[in-house]
Structure 1
């Protein structure tokens, strides 16, 4: 999965990197922002006739890209189009769809009347004269005289950028935009699905927080780039206006919650954990207050919340990493692409930077790298934690020295085996094995060598049986081997010989004259036994074999005992 994600991220990043270069290479007509003149209507009520009648020196040349704070005012821009090819259709594009409430273009019709084209967030995209992800206006190449653009926006500052495009260039720009942003959204949905699968697979709350973060990131990018208004909520002007800010707050709040869960802040400081949780809840609730006020002060708080959240998340990752949370350090690196891209749109929305391609798509490119990278880090984290939990669960059913099944588990499996023998008539076998020279090994080489001998004995017993069979340590030097049926007595005798021979192989950590000497007793468990004087349960069966193995100690030369087929499996 990690290789697939890496390849997709590489291709997506390459496409995003080539996207602007290709678009600019085919536009040809270029940016005409600096060819305009501007005037700010302080009252915000002037009409086109009032503006046209203003003295010529009222308009100032747009010598540099500027940022305008238009609270209660309106920006008028006058453009004298160059001579246009009449065989082409021409369009004027205004960038930054997420930060334009009203954009109206006025041009003279051949009969002298004013032609008005409207767009902006305060008007449903479906009602725009030319619906697009950003305001687009048609130009008549045969018209004479300037065109007038009225821009209104609040509370965010606006930095208008105007591009003069032919229809072919506009279409090509649209195709590349839809391809790249559509690919990004599709890839994001795939990662969201994989995150949800991990949440169900590992039952880890961290993946739920990750899915919320990814969902808010996708919503924010759809709103911020104008794709959401064009395709998803094209009939809702109100939501198209507030969606970028709302998704930004939800994205930041869910990101802080996500960091809190991954870094396990509650494990290190209860006060910090409560503060982080409160910070996340504030972002969720502040969205309601921001939509209700929509004032410059509320917009300032929104920007401060986003900037401080970036610092907070990075600080939490580094702090918990220094306290021993290994994956917190990797999370700091995983968030780095978005953290590096965030200042561009943040400073642009604050009015410090003018609108640009980097301000529009820096976070999108960063998140295209960040989202799958975070999923890979979470996958490795969950895999490690799951292995640790599996080890902890195995402690309850595993002998700590040899790693074999403990006696209570053997009793359960032996009971089930006896039931299957009775139901299906398939005989099974039970072998008790004693490491008879363990005391000699301890006396000559020490206790550590004796423990090593037990580990080697457990390994060799496990090697001679099948995966369905059970090897268990039932005493200090005694093992039990449950051989599942159907099984013939001859096969059980052959297995016993194999066990004895396996023990005589040289043990690398012990002297050559100290092999593992096994003594064993075996029995075939069959419902067809002819002598069944009394019912036998698993405990009584083990006791009978243990007693037979104890009696064998009287004659050291005897190492194998096969009990006659008189051990019934009736319970």
Structure 2
């Protein structure tokens, strides 16, 4: 099973490497000649129109050329044909995209840039009167000031103009390369696409919020660091998605650009640091090596420091540093989850590994896109959403299994500190504490309760004839008999080497207590397969009706046990203590 999983994972990595190599080779190929003869795009129907092979581009290295200058010297500018999967380094200058289009009468069409992470995106065209129309979007502009507010930069094409209209799209950014699809949508198709996106994003962020709240509640209620770190990881990853996908700017901080810049900076460094911390808490690498544990902490600190540096200087270099450390963090996460998978000590770690595996694989695509090794596609844009949707329920279930196992261990440890290790019954101090509470209740209600003192009178004979192991079995069987005698809120406990006590809660009468004592004696006389043949347990039982004046729980128990030593006739198995006074 492990070998097949590793083979599949290796095949995925090989496919990723081949895809990146092909993309890099395509990006390095020389551009075609100036496509000055591109025909205008005749828009029709309801299908989106991609601008690949239907538009041209030019990179302005000076970053200061105005549209009027481009129009005046358009013949002198070497425009190149835009191709699918082609990437443009925005550090080399401002990217200009040019195309011509004809919009059918009575229809409204829009241009949409497929990624919303670029600092400034503008579209220009001239209306029928020759006036310049400028529309703007991008992360440097609050969404409320966008020409067409939304999740992605969107611009309206000229309406009711029968002549071909020339459009220029200007893209400027200091950190990212441009490879996003640029698509033309008819209005109804654009609205339908956005409605589908809103439904999917709503389901995703709703699931993330629900799991984060449940994890936070479990972490606080049970003081579980794993659940708390998991909740922190979900919150930071969801916030980074809010900024990266443009959902937060569309709905939450439409007027505040600073919020958009801050939340967008969380991707991918802060979320990856939170994931690294969560995996560290769950797998506990300190069990393997103290140095490895310190190395993980150092990597988390370096990743957060790189994010802070990127926020301060906002450059391609700082972003590259964040991406490099993110890649190292993903390798560290992969190493820890694989180690947890192969480690048989805690079964829940295998579920953690299964939960993280799809996220780690799908995280390679946006990471490769950040390094410029892969063009923008559906996996670079939406892969992390799919990976996280698979991760959330699996990890939450794994953490629940972990919590249940640890709670059971804690309960067993607590029970061993208050219970007899051999019989599993409460020990003497636990019985006295419960008896004190019951006595106070009985006095307040003016009712009686009873305590039965029980001794295995033939235990020494059993040990002498059949050995110590048979004597221990006799004690275990005696405890089992007493458990069957008690009902409701009664309590049985082992209070001596061969003595037991049974608390019969109020209201209790001497007749009912005597009947219970007879059940105890009769249970010991039954044959049990675990004991040697013809061997039975001989119980002596005292009955103490309580509360007794001036006696607390310890004194009442001592009275019931001393009565076992003071029985005048050893042949009589049940003695009410009142008869001994």
Tell me which of 564, 571, 578 is aligned to 1:549: 564
Aligned to 2:391: 370
Q: How does 1:154-553 map to 2 (within 5 A)?
A: 154-241=174-261, 243-319=263-339, 322=342, 325-326=345-346, 327-526=348-547, 535-552=550-567
Instruction: Out of 67-76 and 241-250, give the one that drifted further.
Output: 241-250
Aligned to 1:127: 145
Note closer, same or farther for the CA distance 1:325–1:546 as it changes in structure 2 (3 Å cut): closer
Instruction: Out of 277-286 and 201-210, give the one that drifted further.
Output: 277-286
Tell me which of 11, 27, 45 is aligned to 2:64: 45
Alpha-carbon offset, residue 315 of structure 1 = 1.0
**1:273-327 deviations in Å (ceiling 9; x for gaps):** 2221222122223222111112221111111111111110121233355566524
Tell me which of 62, 76, 84 is aligned to 1:64: 84
**1:47-105 deviations in Å (ceiling 9; x for gaps):** 11222222277111113321111115111111122x4321211111111102x111111
Note closer, same or farther for the CA distance 1:121–1:449 as it changes in structure 2 (3 Å cut): same
**1:130-172 deviations in Å (ceiling 9; x for gaps):** 0111111111252423211111122111113111111100101
Runs of 4+ in 1 over 4 A off after TM superposition: 320-325
Distance 2:506 2:363 in 1: 66
Distance 2:431 2:262 in 1: 65
Distance 1:251 1:429 in 2: 62
Indicate if the aligned counterparts of 2:59 and 2:92 stay in contact, CA closer than 8 A: no
Unaligned runs of 5+ in 2: 1-44
Aligned to 2:55: 36
Distance 1:56 1:366 in 2: 48
**1:505-529 deviations in Å (ceiling 9; x for gaps):** 22121244112222211121145xx
Distance 1:375 1:542 in 2: 48
Distance 1:332 1:84 in 2: 52
Check if 1:558 corresponds to 2:572. Answer: yes
Indicate if the aligned counterparts of 1:318 and 1:328 stay in contact, CA closer than 8 A: no
SS of the equivalent of 2:493 reads: strand
Distance 1:206 1:512 in 2: 53
Aligned to 1:15: none
Distance 2:134 2:92 in 1: 22
SS of the equivalent of 1:564 reads: helix
Cα root mean square deviation, aligned: 2.1
Indicate if the aligned counterparts of 2:109 and 2:157 stay in contact, CA closer than 8 A: yes
Distance 1:65 1:129 in 2: 27
Distance 2:46 2:238 in 1: 28
Aligned to 1:117: 135
Distance 1:58 1:458 in 2: 95
Indicate if the aligned counterparts of 2:110 and 2:187 stay in contact, CA closer than 8 A: yes
Note closer, same or farther for the CA distance 1:496–1:111 as it changes in structure 2 (3 Å cut): same
Indicate if the aligned counterparts of 2:96 and 2:168 stay in contact, CA closer than 8 A: yes
SS of the equivalent of 1:509 reads: coil
Distance 1:63 1:321 in 2: 44
SS of the equivalent of 1:58 reads: coil
Q: Scaled by the length of structure 2, what TM-score is found?
A: 0.87
Distance 1:338 1:186 in 2: 19
Unaligned runs of 5+ in 1: 1-25
Distance 1:537 1:194 in 2: 46
Check if 1:92 corresponds to 2:111. Answer: yes
Distance 2:534 2:282 in 1: 55
Instruction: Out of 489-498 and 541-550, give the one that drifted further.
Output: 541-550
Aligned to 1:7: none
Distance 1:338 1:537 in 2: 63
Alpha-carbon offset, residue 392 of structure 1 = 0.8
Note closer, same or farther for the CA distance 1:66–1:399 as it changes in structure 2 (3 Å cut): same
Alpha-carbon offset, residue 213 of structure 1 = 0.4
Aligned to 1:18: none
Alpha-carbon offset, residue 349 of structure 1 = 1.9
SS of the equivalent of 2:165 reads: coil
Distance 1:69 1:197 in 2: 46
Instruction: Out of 375-384 and 348-357, give the one that drifted further.
Output: 348-357
Alpha-carbon offset, residue 121 of structure 1 = 1.2
Count residues with an aligned counterpart.
533
**1:510-569 deviations in Å (ceiling 9; x for gaps):** 244112222211121145xxxx7xx334444333333331244x74432111222798xx
Instruction: Out of 210-219 and 554-563, give the one that drifted further.
Output: 554-563
Check if 1:104 corresponds to 2:122. Answer: yes
SS of the equivalent of 2:214 reads: helix
Distance 1:557 1:160 in 2: 97
Distance 1:442 1:566 in 2: 30
Highest RCO, 1 vs 2 (Cα 8 Å, sep ≥ 6): 1
Indicate if the aligned counterparts of 1:249 and 1:287 stay in contact, CA closer than 8 A: yes
Indicate if the aligned counterparts of 2:432 and 2:557 stay in contact, CA closer than 8 A: no
